[in-house]
Structure 1
Amino acid sequence: MAKRGYNLNNSFLRNIGEGRDVLFWEDLWVGDQCLKDKFPRLYHLEEVKDAKVSDRVSWINEERLFTWHWSRIPLGRNTDDIVALQECVAGQFQRETDINKLLPQSLGIFNWRVTRRRLPVRIELDKRGIDLHTVRCPLCDEDVESIDHAIVLCKYALEV
């Protein structure tokens, strides 16, 4: 799908949980770029390059707190970058109760299955050794039925 200009990952909320398994600067969890690439001056000032999201963002009494460990006090453009970084990161967080109110559970499950390549499309079933007559899309018969094809690329999917 990336070849055709679609980035399916940007269409879904990423569930990073409490952030204990996600690297704040190095992992792709905000938008389409790692934070170290988006904010290189701040990354240069960071003392703990392998900090987890949970090391940098926490909640106390329903208030979001940012915790930084800079090698020196950020000055000048770096202060503007900190504000931009906090705004960028804050958009990724919703409390679990907020997400439950916004999304039906079935959509959350669907999102989980899509991002982990766990939808039972023909190409995935074939990879797991399930014998099928064909792996082509049963609706349009124009391409292999992959997750990308079934959700975005199939002409019938585009009509939905």
Structure 2
Amino acid sequence: MEQLSAAYQTLGKQLDAILDPKLPLVSNLANFSALLWLEMDNINWVGSYLINSNKDLLLLGPFQGKPACTTIAVGKGVCGEAFQQATTLRVADVHAFPGHIACDAASESEIVVPFYRNGQLFGVIDIDSPQASRFDESDQLGIEYLVKLLENKLGEEHF
């Protein structure tokens, strides 16, 4: 198994310092997105999509980047598929992904990591890049690690 890179270890320490379970969910998700936006190279969007009460739509959550799609049906696009399968999807070429939803035409690759809140699948973290094949196994391991840290710090309140 691949070891966590120094860059992701550092990001983990930074996240641990700024995320607080006493804060509302939206505050922690906003800081998560902001930190990754500042620290990751070659990305053009990072944010979250949260499941609605009917469990059929992902709704746009806090993000950094250009305005984005506000709803994504579960099972549609990379985000919807990752949520439905409850697994990370790393896509080297989004144009080759069947049913890809293009919110930003500049995006070439993407990684989507589902996350849980109180033991329930709750949403996805989505990161896009204008560079093809931007995300490798090391990135997947690192981002999944960061998402686990986030899960442990999500507060009870939505707002």
Length-normalised TM-score, structure 2? 0.33
Q: Which has the higher helix share?
A: 1
The higher-RCO structure (CA 8 Å, 6+ apart) is: 2
With the length of structure 1 as denominator, give the TM-score of the two structures: 0.33
